[in-house]
């Protein structure tokens, strides 16, 4: 999937949020932590690791919204480090197990935060690609859900979130 439109939309949303909240500091670390938190929220909604519970995963729409929350922060981190020339979503890792991919993704985010190169950034995208594959999300669905959540984020700012 071409990422150009998403980077542009994210850049606009980020500047709106920063202006609205009068923030001028370097936000890389906070956004990095935000991505790790979003990844955990996503894992929690899938309940993939909850061997002690009989309850199934949340509804697909709920999981998809959590997924695109991560995509927001992933784009935003790339913008912070001038890596938004990444045009195409890198090929997904081949991984079938949700627990394994969540752990790999977590590691890839920490690795990117330590060494922010295009290569470590692409690995995070490949991990998220694998998560989408396992969850059965198409690029079209992800794009549509991203656009909807991006708008919701503006609305929340206007409502004094
Ligand atoms: O600089 C920012 C800060 C927040 N968000 C978006 C990403 C997620 O969609 C949402 C997370 O908000 P919480 O629901 O976790 O508060 O905010 C951004 O896009 N850019």
Tens of pLDDT along the chain (161 residues) come to: 899 999 999 999 999 999 999 999 999 999 999 999 999 999 999 999 999 999 999 999 999 999 999 999 999 999 999 999 999 999 999 999 999 999 999 999 999 999 999 999 999 999 999 999 999 999 999 999 999 999 999 999 999 88
**Rounded CA gap, 149 and 70, in Å?**
11
Q: pTM for this one?
A: 0.98
pLDDT for res 1: 85
Question: Closest residue (by CA) to atom 12 of ligand 1?
Answer: 69
How many domains, in total, are found in the chain? 1
- Counting ligand 1 atoms within 8 A of each CB, the residue from 8, 15, 45, 73 with the most, and so the one to mutate, is 73
Alpha carbon of 141 to ligand 1 centroid (Å): 19
**Rounded CA gap, 53 and 55, in Å?**
6
User: Which of 127, 89, 133 has its CA nearest to residue 111?
Assistant: 127
Alpha carbon of 54 to ligand 1 centroid (Å): 31
Question: Residue 40 sits in which domain range?
Answer: 4-158
pLDDT for res 31: 98
- Counting ligand 1 atoms within 8 A of each CB, the residue from 13, 70, 148, 161 with the most, and so the one to mutate, is 13
Closest atom of ligand 1 to CA, residue 68: 9
Residue 122 near ligand 1, beta carbon < 6 Å: no
Question: Closest residue (by CA) to atom 14 of ligand 1?
Answer: 69
User: Would you say 65 and 149 are in contact if contact means Cβ atoms under 8 Å apart?
Assistant: yes
Which CATH number fits the domain that encloses residue 38?
1.10.4010.10
> What ipTM does this complex have?
0.99
**Rounded CA gap, 104 and 50, in Å?**
18
């Amino acid at each position: 999937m071409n990422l150009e439109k998403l980077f542009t939309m994210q850049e606009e949303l980020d500047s709106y949020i920063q202006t609205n909240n009068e923030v001028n500091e370097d936000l890389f670390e906070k956004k990095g932590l935000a991505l790790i938190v979003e990844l955990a929220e996503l894992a929690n909604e899938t309940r993939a690791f909850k061997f002690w519970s009989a309850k199934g995963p949340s509804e697909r729409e709920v999981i998809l919204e959590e997924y695109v929350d991560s995509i927001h922060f992933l784009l935003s981190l790339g913008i912070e480090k001038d890596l938004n020339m990444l045009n195409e979503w890198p090929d997904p890792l081949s991984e079938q197990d949700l627990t394994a991919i969540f752990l790999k993704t977590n590691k890839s985010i920490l690795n990117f935060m330590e060494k922010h190169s295009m290569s470590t950034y692409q690995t995070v995208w490949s991990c998220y690609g694998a998560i989408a594959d396992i969850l059965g999300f198409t690029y079209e669905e992800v794009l549509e859900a991203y656009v909807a959540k991006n708008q919701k984020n503006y609305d929340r700012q206007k409502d004094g979130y």
